[in-house]
Copies of this chain bind each other. A is one copy, B any other.
Amino acid sequence: MAKRSFPLSRVYGLLEPGPVVLVTTARKGRANIMTMSWHTMMEFEPPLVGCVISGRNASFDVLRATKECVINIPTREWVKQVVGVGNCSGCTVDKFVKFGLTPVPAAEVAAPLIGECYANLECRVADTRLVNRYNFFVLEVVQAWVDAAIKQPQTLHHRGNGVFAVASETVKLRSAMK
């Protein structure tokens, strides 16, 4: 998969539609993955992303300690891996090995990109004021990568209980909205 660096000013178009994402973290050379759907854009540029990561996830402590992660955006062909990653703990298993996913070195952070995902956003924690109360982190995207061949990504949108809507059609209207 040939990825190119993606302008930070356009990152909002990747996350604003609300796709389920895979978040990677790393500590002491050990990488982990979690599935996440509770995120929102908060600023265009530099791109800020707010997200809730439950304290029951192994990734919570690692993110709080290292202040780095990667948001990886999968498309529909990876739905089994998305659910599988969400249903086991990185405490007991290497999820890259278990699910056949490829860790690729990032440019700016220690956490790896997931090679199979069509877009990857390298992030640093920018604000932790709502972490204690809501497990809510504000992340700044510092580097973005996209597979330039994928124009209309069929992203997954979790409706709960393993049911996903697939964004498989597009409608376009003339708009002054950004």
State the A residues within 8 Å of B (CB). 10, 12-13, 16-19, 35, 37-43, 48, 50-52, 76, 79-80, 83, 86-87, 127, 129-130, 133-134, 136, 138, 152, 155-178
Additional A-B contact list (5), CB under 8 Å, known A43-B52, A50-B50, A159-B170: A40-B50, A86-B176, A87-B176, A158-B177, A162-B173
Report the Cα distance A173→B83, complex, angstroms: 8
Q: Is the CB of A17 within 8 A of B172?
A: no
Q: Is the CB of A161 within 8 A of B178?
A: yes
Report the Cα distance A159→B162, complex, angstroms: 24
Report the Cα distance A45→B161, complex, angstroms: 16
Q: Is the CB of A166 within 8 A of B164?
A: no
Q: Is the CB of B169 within 8 A of A50?
A: no
CB contacts (< 8 Å) of A165 on chain B: these are 17, 152, 155, 167-170
Q: Is the CB of A136 within 8 A of B175?
A: no
Q: Is the CB of B166 within 8 A of A178?
A: no
CB contacts (< 8 Å) of A171 on chain B: these are 76, 79, 156, 163-164, 166
Q: Is the CB of A134 within 8 A of B129?
A: no
